[in-house]
Each structure stands twice: as structure tokens, then as C-alpha cells.
């Protein structure tokens, strides 16, 4: 009896791409990741979302694999990852602004406006929620807003007075556990679409970190945070306030550079820009890198201009 020959087609092995990104990018990156996996059936994306500074520290210490690292502040790459030899370049791909959110039913928030917001925050018993400045750019940017408010309104002591009301709750409800919250406008807009009671007020562009034209003024505010926690990195890093710009890089430790390049090309291309336009933060068109970084950006990365 002759055994029948059996032909078995080898199945392509799966590869992993580790995408580490700021929580403020969650909605936009979900769309890009879905499109990427549809185009690259042999690649599984390991999506890790969190505070950008926390993710940078986890990458540095080896606690988290990151092929693509996307931060809510491009300066996290410039001032933390690059000096530690973990990144060669920064691509700036999105921008936004800080706003102050509140609940429409909260009596402490009634009548809040662009002009009087800081007076509302100073009322007895008012609690203002925000991220921790040592862990997340949203947190240190909130501190920068408070610092810039003191300078803009020319009220000595205003920063410390406002800081007394700033809390970093692990959980809580806006309008119940706290009356206000510093957040990014695109996050606030998404929350407002989900809930008619969720509102937010825009701040002066002199303090909301939204304008390149105001960078000289913004830079007067600085926040010093702990470093990456590795011997080759500084113990502390001082970050100057600047326009709120999101940045990314492909980590030098990446074992999946080709897949990472394909992902970044999708993100900075038409599909990624559409996802950012819909979900925020707003895309920079085109995405840009500095002249000094341009020679280190992989030639296979398309759609990145030299600033």
C-alpha cells in the first residue's frame, strides 16, 4: 500500500510590534493599529498606553519593550531618551492645547470663563484634578499653565495658591469629587460628545500651550522631574514649557525596525492624519523633524519634512 503524499503549506510566523503611546493618543492609534494589522497579517501589535514619562522610564529600564514610542510631549524624547542613547531622532506629528473641564451641574463651576477661571479655582473647597507631573506631560503641563497664569495676570503668589487646589486623584467623578480638570482639548471634546453635562473652557493662548508664536513666553515656566532611573541618564530633567506637540521615535532597542517604519509611515500618512483629525490631537501636516535629526531618520520613513 502506497502512502499518499500530503502537502502541507507552512504558515507564516507571527511577529510582534510593540507600540507604546500616550493615553491621549488612544482613540487615534486604535484606528491606525486596526488598519496596520489589516495590511500586515503576520504582525501582532502589542498596544501599551499610559503616561508618556512612565513609558519612557519603563523603556529605559527594560521593563517594557517599545518599538514605536509616541509621547504627548516631543521634549520627552529630546531631553530624556536621546541623551540616554535610546533614540536618535524625534518626529513631531500632532499638536493641541490645554483646557479646563467642568460639569455643568456643579455650582462651583457656574459662570466660569476664559477671563475668570483662576478666580473660580481659588474658591474654598474647590478641588482641581490633573495627572501627576512626574509621570505624565498632561500633569506637568497643568503646572506650567498655573505658573504662566501668575505671569500673565501679574499676580504674585497665584501659582502657589492655585497649586493648593490641584489634586492627582487615582479616581473620582468630575462635578462630585472634584470641580475642575486640566486636560487636552481633544479629550475634553470627546467627553463632551459623550455627555451633555461635560463642558470645558478655553484659556488664553498666552497660557494654554497652543501657539508657536508664544513659545518664548511659555518657556519662562519650567518643571523639573525625576529622570529615567538608569545609571547613564541624568537624575533629574528640567522641561521648559512649549507649544503642546506630540512626538515619536523608533527606539534604538527595537528588534522590529521594518515593521515600526511601516507603522509610522501609516501614522504620518493620509490614514493616520485622518484618524488624528477625527479623534485628536490635530495632525501636523506634514510631520516634521529637525535638520539635525534628519540624517538619522530612516530613509524608508516617508511624509516627514525637515523643519
Q: Give me the DSSP letters along 161-184.
A: HHHTTEE--SS--BTTTBSEEEEE
Q: Count Cβ atoms within 10 A of the Cβ of residue 272 and give its class: 0-12 exposed, 13-18 middle, 19 or more buried.
A: buried
**CA-CA distance, 259 to 66, in Å (whole number)?**
12
Asked if residue 16 lies in contact with residue 47, where contact means CB atoms within 8 angstroms, the answer is: no
Residue 12 predicted with pLDDT over 70: no
Question: Are β-strands 222-226 and 236-240 bridged in parallel, bridged antiparallel, or unpaired?
Answer: antiparallel
- The residue among 67, 66, 74 whose CA lies nearest residue 93 is 74
Across the range 235-249, mean pLDDT stands at: 98
Whether residues 84 and 117 share a domain: the answer is no
Whether residues 147 and 201 share a domain: the answer is yes
**CA-CA distance, 174 to 124, in Å (whole number)?**
17
Which pLDDT tens digit goes with each residue over 29-62?
Answer: 999 999 999 999 999 999 999 999 999 999 999 9
Whether residues 176 and 84 share a domain: the answer is no
**CA-CA distance, 209 to 148, in Å (whole number)?**
10
Residue 25 predicted with pLDDT over 90: yes
Whether residues 198 and 107 share a domain: the answer is yes
Question: Omega of the bond prior to 286 within 30 degrees of 0, cis?
Answer: yes
Mean pLDDT of the chain: 95
**What percentage of residues in the chain have a pLDDT greater than 90?**
94
Cα 73 to the center of its chain, rounded Å = 6
Across the range 15-22, mean pLDDT stands at: 97
Whether residues 59 and 80 share a domain: the answer is yes
Domain assignment present for 236: no
Whether residues 115 and 151 share a domain: the answer is yes
Domain assignment present for 7: no
| Structural domain span for residue 124 | 98-216
**CA-CA distance, 256 to 245, in Å (whole number)?**
26
Domain assignment present for 9: no
Residue 178 φ then ψ, to 5°:
-150, 155
Final residue in a domain of this structure, among 164, 196, 216: 216
Which whole-number Å values give the CA distances from 64 to 48, 49, 176, 296, 300, in the listed order?
9, 11, 35, 24, 26
Final residue in a domain of this structure, among 201, 216, 231: 216
How high is the pLDDT of residue 169?
85
Which segment of 2-11, 216-225, 233-242 scores lowest on mean pLDDT? 2-11
Whether residues 107 and 163 share a domain: the answer is yes
Asked if residue 101 lies in contact with residue 181, where contact means CB atoms within 8 angstroms, the answer is: yes
Final residue in a domain of this structure, among 199, 216, 233: 216
Residue 6 predicted with pLDDT over 70: no
Whether residues 130 and 187 share a domain: the answer is yes
Which segment of 4-8, 9-13, 154-158, 237-241 scores lowest on mean pLDDT? 4-8
Whether residues 210 and 251 share a domain: the answer is no
Domain assignment present for 229: no
Whether residues 65 and 103 share a domain: the answer is no
Residue 2 binned pLDDT confidence (cut-offs 50, 70, 90): very low
Domain count for the chain, please give it. Answer: 2
Across the range 198-225, mean pLDDT stands at: 98
Whether residues 60 and 123 share a domain: the answer is no
Across the range 276-302, mean pLDDT stands at: 97
Which segment of 13-22, 42-51, 210-219 scores lowest on mean pLDDT? 13-22
Domain assignment present for 183: yes
Whether residues 38 and 70 share a domain: the answer is yes
How high is the pLDDT of residue 4?
43
CATH code (residue 255): 3.40.190.10
Which pLDDT tens digit goes with each residue over 162-209?
Answer: 999 999 987 899 999 999 999 999 999 999 999 999 999 999 999 999
Which whole-number Å values give the CA distances from 93 to 44, 231, 287, in the listed order?
24, 30, 4
**CA-CA distance, 61 to 275, in Å (whole number)?**
31
Domain assignment present for 1: no
Which pLDDT tens digit goes with each residue over 109-164?
Answer: 999 999 999 999 999 999 999 999 999 999 999 999 999 999 999 999 999 999 99
Domain assignment present for 141: yes
How high is the pLDDT of residue 136?
97
Domain assignment present for 231: no
Across the range 73-97, mean pLDDT stands at: 98
Amino acid at each position: 500500500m502506497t502512502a499518499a503524499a500530503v502537502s502541507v503549506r507552512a504558515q507564516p510566523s507571527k511577529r510582534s510590534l510593540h507600540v507604546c503611546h500616550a493615553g491621549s493618543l488612544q482613540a487615534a492609534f486604535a484606528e491606525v493599529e486596526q488598519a496596520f494589522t489589516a495590511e500586515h497579517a503576520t504582525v501582532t501589535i502589542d498596544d501599551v498606553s499610559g503616561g508618556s514619562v512612565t513609558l519612557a522610564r519603563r523603556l529605559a529600564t527594560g521593563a517594557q519593550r517599545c518599538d514605536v514610542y509616541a509621547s504627548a510631549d516631543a521634549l520627552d524624547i529630546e531631553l530624556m531618551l536621546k541623551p540616554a542613547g535610546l533614540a536618535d531622532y524625534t518626529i513631531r506629528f500632532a499638536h493641541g492645547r490645554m483646557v479646563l473641564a467642568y460639569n455643568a451641574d456643579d455650582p462651583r463651576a457656574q459662570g466660569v470663563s476664559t477671563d475668570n477661571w483662576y478666580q473660580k479655582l481659588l474658591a474654598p473647597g474647590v478641588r482641581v484634578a490633573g495627572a501627576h507631573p512626574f509621570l505624565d506631560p498632561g500633569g506637568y503641563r497643568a503646572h506650567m499653565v498655573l505658573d504662566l497664569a501668575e505671569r500673565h495676570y501679574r499676580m504674585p503668589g497665584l501659582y502657589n495658591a492655585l497649586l493648593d487646589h490641584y489634586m492627582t486623584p487615582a479616581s473620582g467623578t468630575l462635578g462630585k469629587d472634584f470641580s475642575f480638570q486640566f486636560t487636552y482639548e481633544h479629550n475634553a471634546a470627546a467627553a463632551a460628545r459623550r455627555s451633555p453635562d461635560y463642558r470645558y473652557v478655553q484659556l488664553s493662548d498666552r497660557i494654554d500651550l497652543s501657539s508657536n508664536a508664544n513659545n518664548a513666553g511659555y518657556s519662562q515656566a519650567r518643571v523639573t522631574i525625576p529622570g529615567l532611573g538608569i545609571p547613564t541618564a541624568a537624575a533629574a530633567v528640567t522641561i521648559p514649557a512649549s507649544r503642546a506637540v506630540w512626538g515619536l521615535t523608533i527606539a534604538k532597542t527595537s528588534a522590529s525596525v521594518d515593521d515600526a517604519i511601516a507603522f509610522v509611515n501609516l501614522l504620518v500618512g493620509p490614514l493616520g492624519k485622518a484618524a488624528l483629525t477625527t479623534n485628536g490631537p490635530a495632525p501636523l501636516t506634514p510631520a516634521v523633524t529637525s535638520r539635525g535629526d534628519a540624517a538619522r531618520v530612516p530613509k524608508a520613513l516617508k511624509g516627514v519634512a525637515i523643519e
